[in-house]
Amino acid sequence: MDRENLTQEESMEVIRQMISMSRRKFGESGFHFLLWGILVIAAALVQYFLIMQGFGPESNWVWVAMPIIGVPIAVVYEMRRQRREQVKTKFDNIYATLWQGFGIALLLIIPVSLLMRVNPIPFLLILIGLATFVSGAIVRFVPLKVGAVVFWITAVLSLWLKDADLLLAYSAAVFLGYVVPGLMLRKRFKAESGV
């Protein structure tokens, strides 16, 4: 590939070939959806069990364990993934920025809700729904958009649920909105990367 002074047709052919060669499916493996989905479900079910055993607000501490376990795993995974990646597209940047913004909003919603003495879960569900919906559009994966709708419906239903039942509803929503699409994404990723 060292020709100079290409003809117009040759130039267009080079552009077409290169763009077609670099076109790739968005490499979302579903890892983060599975990781956080499983951790959220585990935390919600453990807290539900504790409430059933008669524990009070101290059962909320179970949620602290979630980032302590999840963040190091997620960081190590991302570092390894970025080491493998040779190319970064605009979509990679948009996707990463979306979830960074989600993380910041999450860190704000929880203390603000608690200071206002309201349950943060419905607001979290709305926020998770938004991030999941946009992710579905970025990675072109409809199950994520469906999952987002499940989060939003659960947020509305939570108006009629008590705290313990809300935890069960939260677990079911995360299972349908994160774990199921995460498993489907993983299957698609493996099929595309020939693993």
Partner 1 sequence: MWCRVSCCASGSKLKAVFKPLDPLLTSELRLAVMSLLIAAEQAEFVYLKERTGATSGNLSVQVQKLKSAGYISVKKSFKGNYPQTTCKVTTAGVDAFEKHVEALESYIKPRS
Residues forming the site for partner 1 (CB under 8 A): 1-6, 8-12, 14-15, 17-19, 21-23, 83, 86-90, 93
Q: Which is nearer to partner 1, 1 or 116 (CB)?
A: 1
* CA gap 54, 58 in Å, rounded: 11
Nearest approach in angstroms of CB 100 to partner 1 is: 18
Closest to 70 in 3D by CA, of 31, 114, 96: 31
Q: Which is nearer to partner 1, 49 or 91 (CB)?
A: 91
Q: Which is nearer to partner 1, 12 or 71 (CB)?
A: 12
* CA gap 195, 181 in Å, rounded: 19
Nearest approach in angstroms of CB 127 to partner 1 is: 28
Spatial CB neighbours of 155, under 8 Å, sequence gap ≥ 6: 122, 123, 125, 126, 129
Q: Which is nearer to partner 1, 17 or 100 (CB)?
A: 17
Q: Which is nearer to partner 1, 53 or 86 (CB)?
A: 86
Nearest approach in angstroms of CB 79 to partner 1 is: 10
Q: Which is nearer to partner 1, 65 or 94 (CB)?
A: 94
* CA gap 51, 166 in Å, rounded: 12
Nearest approach in angstroms of CB 158 to partner 1 is: 40
Q: What are the CA-CA distances from residue 83 to residues 86, 87, 194 (Å)?
A: 8, 10, 19
Q: Would you state the structure tokens that stand for residue 98, as one six-digit string?
A: 């979306």
Nearest approach in angstroms of CB 194 to partner 1 is: 17
Nearest approach in angstroms of CB 6 to partner 1 is: 6
8's enclosing H/E stretch is helix 8-22
* CA gap 62, 45 in Å, rounded: 10
